[in-house]
A and B are shown apart, each in its own frame.
Chain A
């Protein structure tokens, strides 16, 4: 039986076992996002310890796009981290959760309304283009700002001597145009306080990260030579997260997927979709279009790998380079901070068979409530039965979880899940570790279907307390 056993935090497991989920789903509707805000303490502590171990001063900016929860944001405030906001809405919400501008970074593509609020609160602005610099000058003048705007210069287009072909990116100022950038900044000195350089790579491959650090570090030197005072190197996010208990299960599932695409085994996906793989006249072609759900070095361990990596041009590690150069590291983890911070519950509406004999479990949720940007989540959910079941021998039931939209393509999982027991109508299905990008990120109320409510759950001695997401604050719960 092909399993994809998820890692489940002990608190989360205890909560799913205490049976309160059914009443909550009945009351608040399905699907329901259950957040565990205190779970963020673990990853934050790990990151801080890794920085300390490498003698690097660092700033953690939580990329709040990963989840819209206010409870999480308020918890982040209490944990002392900063926030990376990527829209007016996110900035507004972050300010409302108590953060002041000195703990906020504004990144990504910006409209005037976003820039204005960022300027008014003196946030750190990661500048995406020269046009944005011009816009800042214009708006700063309009606001009659006296303080210089603190900026990070977001650069892109890094290659190294060994000719690593980087993919093109729509973000950042091309490194090759930095002379033009330096001239522009020089001509407008009174407006800017260049705090440093940032980048965000779309890949977690260490070699590319190292190449980017090398180039960014070089550019920081050039900025200092030009009379600026940068001290921050921001390496963005992409710290990976390990979802699965057993990497062998992951490899076995992928091998089964590949075999099925080649026609050697029974399909394990609906319509034998290859998720990026295809059969080209007997040869497997293509490359995987899914996240790596089993990964060895995730989160803070990945940061440690980066800081311990040798910098080819400097004959020392990246961590040593940063601490010797007295540069501060900024990181923008989103997913990595939300490890075990949330699950998504849904009620089973029906169980039936398709014409070709596949078992379909119909849930009161749709794909948009889980799979952001149509990215498949390869992780077995936990079935929480509503009624105590009489003991049946465990079998291997392969099911497809289908959604509540009147659309052929609305599958929660396009890959088959193998369960020891078939779920029944009214049972709760709990999708694990969904807080980061797998709950509200791409959610839609298409067909007037529900956008999931959020609740925050915290442990309370042997029990738990729950709050509507907007009602929770770590500062008021324990008094």
Chain B
């Protein structure tokens, strides 16, 4: 396939049948609409373009900044489009909880205005939510911004009606169940409305996060009321999913279907199973169900790591020394150290981080941070006759290093008892490398 512009690659995403051995439903064929095939990686690519395409020329000539409140995918898509069209973009949010999102947006050059956290002494006269802040920004400088307003913009629903829904019907014909995650609710509503035109009896099921749960991109019940596009009556059912379930669903999709989607897709899949399993037995004829796999797994690594550390295993640093080795590692008092410095000119190695070393260290000491030193020791990088004094904050971490040095054959290595804090407390001299030096 050939394209002349990235926007031509938005939409027309594949619909993948899920192996019945995976989902276990006897009378229902399940299809995943792989929205992460969109060029910027998510279902939001559709609305980002839809909200901008009619006005893009005007935005360019006026020099306005495109403004949105987005916690991730919409910001990414809008930024990609704005970069390609050379237009500034800014997102205002208090919901970015995923570090990778922040990092990707940084690589793309996004201006993010993050809002203050919830106040400890809440002031009833002070609204902190992003939409209120955006309102203030727009009324303060009405000509400076183009607010795409994904939570209230009808184009959000319309593009899913005209494209996502149409694509599903073109591929499948009749659809009996449609399941989508509710964030702005645009994708689920627009898509389901189109499907309804052709399959009047279609049941649409909205998937939301359980109260207090955090699933990226979808809201919990109470939060939904903040969304202008939300209409509760539209959905035949709502499924509340926990973040544990979302991750379970995601792992199933990844490992059993080759669908490398994120936790929200996992949540939607689980929501589908919860809603349809009870019905499955009662069905007299085969039915078709579609759910949306909205984005990719890659930027949820830290989200998964926090909830399923077992998947990553424990990273074990090769411990070549035992606890008793460390406990018995010999230390030197200040007097002994000072004597040693005069007599033997030892290599004094400060194993703290570089900034701490520069701010204050024992005269003539050098700085090798401990993780680096640990790696070096087995290579025996010093003469075995060398006297070595290891310095750390309070004299504990240094013992681990000395244990390793002793094991490697360095018989004249010692830890400085009480570390550099003890040295400082005893009034002994410290040198400093100033920040200007």
Contact = CB atoms under 8 A, between A and B. Distances in A.
A and B held together in a complex? yes
B247 to A, nearest CB: 18
Contact of B352 (A203, A251, A324): A324
B343 to A, nearest CB: 27
Nearest to A282: B228
B39 interface: no
B425 to A, nearest CB: 9
Interface stretch (B255-263, B355-363, B381-389): B355-363
Interface in A176-234: 202-208, 221, 224-225
Interface stretch (A83-91, A149-157, A162-170, A392-400): A162-170
A250 B117 CA distance: 20
A28 interface: no
Contact of A203 (B113, B117, B212): B117
A247 B122 contact: no
A57 B421 CA distance: 10
Interface string B337-374: 00000000000000011011001100000000000000
Contacts of B325: none
Interface string A303-338: 000000000001110001101111000000000000
A326 B362 CA distance: 13
B313 interface: no
B121 A373 contact: yes
Contacts of A143: none
B434 interface: yes
A324 B211 contact: no
A146 interface: no
A439 B246 CA distance: 43
- Between B129, B221, B222, the greatest number of chain A beta carbons within 10 A of the residue's beta carbon is seen for B222
A315 B353 CA distance: 9
B225 A283 contact: yes
Contacts of A252: 211
Contact of A259 (B113, B116, B121, B222): B222
A296 to B, nearest CB: 9
Contact of B393 (A259, A276, A289, A323): A323
Nearest to B115: A165
A172 B127 CA distance: 23
A258 interface: yes
Nearest to B226: A284
Given A221-B435, A262-B225, A320 B353 contact: yes
A225 B116 contact: no
Nearest to A335: B120
A300 to B, nearest CB: 17
A207 B114 CA distance: 10
Interface string B205-230: 00000011000000011100111100
B119 interface: yes
A442 interface: no
A111 B119 CA distance: 28
Interface in A240-279: 240, 247-248, 250-252, 254-255, 258-259, 261-262, 264, 275-276
Nearest to B128: A287
Contact of A205 (B111, B116, B122): B116
A285 B116 CA distance: 17
B377 interface: no
A290 B424 CA distance: 46
A224 B359 contact: yes
B81 interface: no
A238 interface: yes
Interface in B384-435: 393-394, 396, 420-421, 424, 432, 434-435
B132 interface: yes
A276 B124 contact: yes
Nearest to A247: B212
A286 interface: yes
B370 to A, nearest CB: 10
A266 to B, nearest CB: 16
A285 B222 contact: no
Interface in B118-176: 118-124, 126-129, 131-133, 152
Contacts of B127: 276, 285-287
A206 B152 CA distance: 31
A164 to B, nearest CB: 5
Given A202-B119, A204-B117, A248-B212, A255 B227 contact: no
A238 B432 CA distance: 35
A290 B118 CA distance: 10
A207 to B, nearest CB: 7
Contact of B123 (A259, A264, A289, A324): A289
Contact of A290 (B122, B393, B421): B122
A380 B55 CA distance: 54
Contacts of B226: 283-285
Contact of B116 (A208, A323, A374, A375): A208
A210 to B, nearest CB: 11
A4 to B, nearest CB: 14
A283 B227 contact: yes
B30 interface: no
A288 interface: yes
Nearest to B227: A283
A292 interface: yes
A89 to B, nearest CB: 21
Interface in B23-69: none
Contacts of B232: 264
- Between B131, B211, B225, B424, the greatest number of chain A beta carbons within 10 A of the residue's beta carbon is seen for B225
A324 B353 contact: yes
B112 interface: yes
List the 9 closest pairs (A to B, CB-CB), nearest first.
Answer: A205-B117, A284-B225, A251-B211, A324-B356, A203-B117, A289-B124, A258-B222, A324-B352, A251-B212
Given A167-B126, A285-B226, 19 more contacts: A55-B396, A163-B111, A165-B113, A165-B116, A165-B133, A203-B116, A204-B117, A225-B435, A248-B211, A251-B211, A276-B124, A284-B226, A285-B132, A292-B118, A314-B353, A316-B353, A321-B356, A323-B393, A324-B352
14 contacts: A203-B117, A204-B120, A205-B118, A221-B359, A238-B120, A255-B220, A282-B228, A283-B226, A287-B128, A314-B353, A321-B355, A323-B393, A325-B359, A375-B122
